[in-house]
Amino acid sequence: MNKPARKPYRLPHSEMLLLKRWNTPTIYNGWEQITRGDSAADAFNLEEVRDFMPHMGPMVGYAITVVIQPGNREQAPHAGELWEKYRRYVASEPGPKIVVVQDLDKPQMFGAFWGEVNSNTHRALGCVGSIIDGGLRDLDEMNNAGFKVLARRMCVGHACSIPLRWNCEVEVFGRKVQPGQLIHADKHGFLAIPFGEERGLLEAATFMDANECNTVIPAARDIAGRSKEEILKNMKAAGAAFGKAARAKFKRKGEW
Protein backbone atom coordinates (compact mmCIF):
# COMPACT_ATOMS: atom_id res chain seq x y z
CA MET A 1 0.00 0.00 0.00
CA ASN A 2 1.00 3.64 -0.34
CA LYS A 3 3.52 5.01 2.16
CA PRO A 4 3.25 8.57 3.52
CA ALA A 5 5.55 11.07 1.83
CA ARG A 6 6.89 12.30 5.16
CA LYS A 7 7.42 10.59 8.47
CA PRO A 8 6.23 12.13 11.74
CA TYR A 9 8.45 13.10 14.61
CA ARG A 10 7.43 10.57 17.23
CA LEU A 11 6.97 12.16 20.62
CA PRO A 12 8.19 10.50 23.81
CA HIS A 13 5.40 8.52 25.44
CA SER A 14 5.55 10.87 28.43
CA GLU A 15 4.58 13.78 26.15
CA MET A 16 1.73 11.75 24.68
CA LEU A 17 0.38 11.19 28.19
CA LEU A 18 0.64 14.89 28.98
CA LEU A 19 -1.09 15.87 25.73
CA LYS A 20 -3.96 13.61 26.75
CA ARG A 21 -4.50 15.71 29.88
CA TRP A 22 -5.63 18.72 27.81
CA ASN A 23 -8.77 19.09 25.72
CA THR A 24 -8.47 19.45 21.96
CA PRO A 25 -9.23 23.20 21.85
CA THR A 26 -6.29 23.78 24.24
CA ILE A 27 -4.02 21.77 21.96
CA TYR A 28 -5.30 23.82 19.02
CA ASN A 29 -4.42 27.04 20.85
CA GLY A 30 -0.84 25.84 21.14
CA TRP A 31 -0.67 24.49 17.59
CA GLU A 32 -1.96 27.83 16.30
CA GLN A 33 1.22 29.48 17.58
CA ILE A 34 3.69 27.09 15.94
CA THR A 35 2.02 26.09 12.67
CA ARG A 36 3.22 27.17 9.24
CA GLY A 37 -0.30 26.64 7.89
CA ASP A 38 -3.62 28.45 8.13
CA SER A 39 -4.97 28.01 11.64
CA ALA A 40 -8.41 29.11 10.46
CA ALA A 41 -8.76 26.33 7.89
CA ASP A 42 -6.15 23.61 8.38
CA ALA A 43 -5.79 20.47 10.51
CA PHE A 44 -9.22 20.25 12.19
CA ASN A 45 -12.50 18.67 11.05
CA LEU A 46 -14.58 20.94 8.83
CA GLU A 47 -17.79 18.93 9.22
CA GLU A 48 -19.71 18.01 12.35
CA VAL A 49 -18.48 14.90 14.13
CA ARG A 50 -19.89 13.23 17.26
CA ASP A 51 -17.88 11.81 20.14
CA PHE A 52 -19.76 8.71 21.30
CA MET A 53 -17.53 8.25 24.38
CA PRO A 54 -17.01 11.79 25.79
CA HIS A 55 -16.61 10.36 29.30
CA MET A 56 -13.31 8.77 28.18
CA GLY A 57 -11.82 12.22 27.70
CA PRO A 58 -9.35 13.09 24.93
CA MET A 59 -7.47 10.51 22.88
CA VAL A 60 -4.03 10.96 21.36
CA GLY A 61 -2.28 8.74 18.85
CA TYR A 62 -0.81 8.30 15.40
CA ALA A 63 -3.11 7.76 12.44
CA ILE A 64 -3.72 4.32 11.01
CA THR A 65 -5.76 4.83 7.84
CA VAL A 66 -8.24 2.57 6.07
CA VAL A 67 -10.96 2.90 3.41
CA ILE A 68 -14.22 0.90 3.52
CA GLN A 69 -17.47 0.67 1.54
CA PRO A 70 -19.96 -1.48 3.45
CA GLY A 71 -22.61 -1.13 0.73
CA ASN A 72 -20.40 -2.72 -1.93
CA ARG A 73 -20.25 -6.53 -1.85
CA GLU A 74 -17.76 -6.94 -4.72
CA GLN A 75 -14.85 -7.57 -2.35
CA ALA A 76 -16.79 -9.93 -0.08
CA PRO A 77 -15.18 -13.09 -1.53
CA HIS A 78 -11.76 -11.68 -0.60
CA ALA A 79 -12.73 -10.60 2.92
CA GLY A 80 -10.54 -13.10 4.76
CA GLU A 81 -7.42 -12.20 2.78
CA LEU A 82 -8.05 -8.47 3.09
CA TRP A 83 -8.61 -8.65 6.84
CA GLU A 84 -5.42 -10.66 7.32
CA LYS A 85 -3.28 -8.19 5.37
CA TYR A 86 -4.91 -5.18 7.02
CA ARG A 87 -4.43 -6.53 10.55
CA ARG A 88 -0.76 -7.19 9.81
CA TYR A 89 -0.43 -3.55 8.78
CA VAL A 90 -2.10 -2.35 11.99
CA ALA A 91 0.09 -4.62 14.11
CA SER A 92 3.27 -3.45 12.36
CA GLU A 93 2.83 0.23 13.25
CA PRO A 94 3.98 1.62 16.61
CA GLY A 95 1.37 2.96 19.01
CA PRO A 96 -0.59 4.49 20.43
CA LYS A 97 -2.71 4.41 17.27
CA ILE A 98 -5.97 6.01 16.17
CA VAL A 99 -7.74 4.34 13.24
CA VAL A 100 -9.00 6.92 10.73
CA VAL A 101 -11.69 5.34 8.53
CA GLN A 102 -13.13 6.77 5.31
CA ASP A 103 -16.53 5.30 4.38
CA LEU A 104 -17.05 5.57 0.61
CA ASP A 105 -20.81 5.11 1.01
CA LYS A 106 -21.13 8.64 2.44
CA PRO A 107 -23.66 10.26 2.62
CA GLN A 108 -25.46 6.91 2.81
CA MET A 109 -24.72 4.44 5.60
CA PHE A 110 -25.24 0.73 5.03
CA GLY A 111 -23.12 -0.78 7.79
CA ALA A 112 -20.85 -0.13 10.75
CA PHE A 113 -17.12 -0.90 10.70
CA TRP A 114 -16.93 -0.69 14.50
CA GLY A 115 -18.61 -3.03 16.92
CA GLU A 116 -17.71 -5.27 19.84
CA VAL A 117 -15.42 -7.65 17.94
CA ASN A 118 -13.56 -5.12 15.81
CA SER A 119 -12.97 -2.70 18.69
CA ASN A 120 -11.54 -5.44 20.92
CA THR A 121 -9.39 -6.69 18.03
CA HIS A 122 -7.91 -3.24 17.37
CA ARG A 123 -7.44 -2.59 21.09
CA ALA A 124 -5.33 -5.75 21.24
CA LEU A 125 -3.23 -4.37 18.36
CA GLY A 126 -2.40 -1.12 20.18
CA CYS A 127 -5.20 1.15 18.94
CA VAL A 128 -6.86 3.49 21.44
CA GLY A 129 -9.77 4.61 19.29
CA SER A 130 -11.03 5.72 15.91
CA ILE A 131 -12.37 8.57 13.82
CA ILE A 132 -14.78 7.18 11.23
CA ASP A 133 -16.81 9.12 8.69
CA GLY A 134 -19.41 6.39 9.00
CA GLY A 135 -21.07 4.39 11.74
CA LEU A 136 -20.61 2.22 14.80
CA ARG A 137 -22.72 -0.26 16.74
CA ASP A 138 -22.47 -2.24 20.01
CA LEU A 139 -21.91 1.02 21.87
CA ASP A 140 -22.07 -0.48 25.38
CA GLU A 141 -19.67 -3.27 24.43
CA MET A 142 -17.26 -0.78 22.86
CA ASN A 143 -17.32 1.23 26.07
CA ASN A 144 -16.49 -1.97 27.94
CA ALA A 145 -13.53 -2.49 25.61
CA GLY A 146 -12.28 1.04 26.34
CA PHE A 147 -12.22 1.90 22.65
CA LYS A 148 -13.15 5.53 21.91
CA VAL A 149 -14.84 6.52 18.64
CA LEU A 150 -15.81 9.75 16.93
CA ALA A 151 -18.33 9.00 14.16
CA ARG A 152 -21.31 10.28 12.19
CA ARG A 153 -23.94 8.09 13.83
CA MET A 154 -24.84 4.63 15.09
CA CYS A 155 -25.93 1.83 12.79
CA VAL A 156 -27.71 -1.51 13.34
CA GLY A 157 -25.88 -3.74 10.86
CA HIS A 158 -22.35 -4.27 9.61
CA ALA A 159 -23.13 -4.97 5.92
CA CYS A 160 -19.87 -5.63 4.01
CA SER A 161 -17.56 -3.68 6.30
CA ILE A 162 -14.13 -4.91 5.25
CA PRO A 163 -10.89 -3.00 4.64
CA LEU A 164 -10.46 -2.16 0.95
CA ARG A 165 -7.33 0.04 1.07
CA TRP A 166 -5.08 1.07 3.94
CA ASN A 167 -1.93 3.03 4.76
CA CYS A 168 -3.13 5.69 2.30
CA GLU A 169 -4.49 9.23 2.45
CA VAL A 170 -8.11 9.37 3.60
CA GLU A 171 -10.68 12.13 3.92
CA VAL A 172 -12.97 12.26 6.94
CA PHE A 173 -15.32 15.05 7.98
CA GLY A 174 -13.83 17.36 5.35
CA ARG A 175 -10.23 16.79 6.48
CA LYS A 176 -7.56 14.82 4.62
CA VAL A 177 -5.40 12.69 6.92
CA GLN A 178 -2.11 10.96 6.14
CA PRO A 179 -1.02 7.74 7.87
CA GLY A 180 1.32 8.57 10.72
CA GLN A 181 -0.12 12.01 11.52
CA LEU A 182 -0.40 12.84 15.21
CA ILE A 183 -4.07 13.18 16.16
CA HIS A 184 -5.71 14.75 19.19
CA ALA A 185 -9.48 14.27 19.53
CA ASP A 186 -12.29 14.73 22.02
CA LYS A 187 -15.94 15.82 22.19
CA HIS A 188 -15.10 19.07 20.36
CA GLY A 189 -13.71 17.33 17.27
CA PHE A 190 -10.23 16.37 16.15
CA LEU A 191 -6.92 17.93 15.16
CA ALA A 192 -4.54 16.20 12.72
CA ILE A 193 -1.14 17.78 13.28
CA PRO A 194 0.78 18.43 10.02
CA PHE A 195 4.07 16.56 9.69
CA GLY A 196 6.92 18.53 11.20
CA GLU A 197 4.76 20.35 13.76
CA GLU A 198 4.63 17.69 16.47
CA ARG A 199 7.73 18.96 18.26
CA GLY A 200 6.95 21.80 20.66
CA LEU A 201 3.18 21.20 20.57
CA LEU A 202 2.89 20.35 24.26
CA GLU A 203 5.02 23.29 25.35
CA ALA A 204 3.01 25.70 23.19
CA ALA A 205 -0.34 24.42 24.46
CA THR A 206 0.78 24.56 28.07
CA PHE A 207 2.13 28.09 27.65
CA MET A 208 -1.02 29.42 25.99
CA ASP A 209 -3.26 27.89 28.64
CA ALA A 210 -1.18 29.53 31.38
CA ASN A 211 -1.25 32.78 29.41
CA GLU A 212 -5.05 32.77 29.52
CA CYS A 213 -5.08 31.95 33.24
CA ASN A 214 -2.68 34.80 33.96
CA THR A 215 -4.49 37.47 31.95
CA VAL A 216 -7.89 37.34 30.24
CA ILE A 217 -9.66 34.81 32.44
CA PRO A 218 -8.97 36.58 35.77
CA ALA A 219 -10.03 39.87 34.19
CA ALA A 220 -13.42 38.34 33.37
CA ARG A 221 -13.81 36.55 36.70
CA ASP A 222 -12.48 39.10 39.22
CA ILE A 223 -15.41 41.51 38.93
CA ALA A 224 -16.90 41.65 42.44
CA GLY A 225 -17.41 45.26 43.53
CA ARG A 226 -16.04 46.71 40.29
CA SER A 227 -17.86 49.18 38.06
CA LYS A 228 -18.53 48.41 34.40
CA GLU A 229 -15.84 50.88 33.40
CA GLU A 230 -13.31 49.17 35.65
CA ILE A 231 -14.23 45.77 34.26
CA LEU A 232 -13.88 46.95 30.65
CA LYS A 233 -10.58 48.66 31.43
CA ASN A 234 -9.21 45.51 33.07
CA MET A 235 -10.34 43.36 30.13
CA LYS A 236 -8.58 45.65 27.67
CA ALA A 237 -5.38 45.59 29.72
CA ALA A 238 -5.58 41.80 30.10
CA GLY A 239 -5.99 41.34 26.34
CA ALA A 240 -2.92 43.48 25.74
CA ALA A 241 -0.93 41.49 28.31
CA PHE A 242 -2.05 38.22 26.70
CA GLY A 243 -0.91 39.38 23.27
CA LYS A 244 2.39 40.71 24.61
CA ALA A 245 3.22 37.37 26.25
CA ALA A 246 2.33 35.43 23.07
CA ARG A 247 4.43 37.72 20.90
CA ALA A 248 7.39 37.42 23.25
CA LYS A 249 7.19 33.62 23.12
CA PHE A 250 6.12 32.90 19.53
CA LYS A 251 6.35 36.20 17.66
CA ARG A 252 2.57 35.94 17.20
CA LYS A 253 -0.13 37.76 19.14
CA GLY A 254 -2.50 34.84 19.75
CA GLU A 255 -6.29 34.97 19.97
CA TRP A 256 -6.45 38.27 21.86
What is the rounded CA–CA span in Å between residue 94 and residue 206?
26
More confident residue, 9 or 114: 114
| Rounded-to-10 torsion of CA 95, 27, 2, 65 | 60
On whether the CB atoms of residues 225 and 234 are closer than 8 A, the answer is no
On whether the CB atoms of residues 202 and 19 are closer than 8 A, the answer is yes
* pLDDT digits 0-9 by tens, 66-112: 999 999 999 899 999 999 999 999 999 999 999 999 999 999 999 99
| For residues 21-44, average pLDDT | 96
In this predicted structure, what is the pLDDT of residue 9?
84
Q: How many residues does the chain have?
A: 256
What is the rounded CA–CA span in Å between residue 134 and residue 70?
10
User: Is residue 156 classed as helix, strand or coil in its secondary structure?
Assistant: coil
* pLDDT digits 0-9 by tens, 195-252: 999 999 999 999 999 999 999 999 999 999 999 999 999 999 999 999 999 999 998 7
| 2 pLDDT above the threshold of 80 | no
- Paired sense of beta strands 135-136 and 153-154, if any: parallel
Architecture label for domain 13-197: 3-Layer(bba) Sandwich (3.50)
Q: What per-residue string of b and e applies to 218-228 under the rule 16 or more CB within 10 Å gives b?
A: ebeeeeeeeee
Kind plus residue range of the DSSP H or E element containing 66: strand 59-68
The number of beta carbons lying within 10 Å of the beta carbon of residue 46 is 11
On whether the CB atoms of residues 131 and 35 are closer than 8 A, the answer is no
Instruction: Locate the DSSP E strands across 120-181.
Output: 127-132, 135-136, 148-151, 153-154, 165-166, 170-172, 175-177
Q: Please choose, from the candidates 20, 40, 237, 48, the residue with its C-alpha nearest in 3D space to the C-alpha of residue 133.
A: 48
In this predicted structure, what is the pLDDT of residue 146?
97
What is the rounded CA–CA span in Å between residue 202 and residue 228?
37
* pLDDT digits 0-9 by tens, 120-178: 999 999 999 999 999 999 999 999 999 999 999 999 999 999 999 999 999 999 999 99
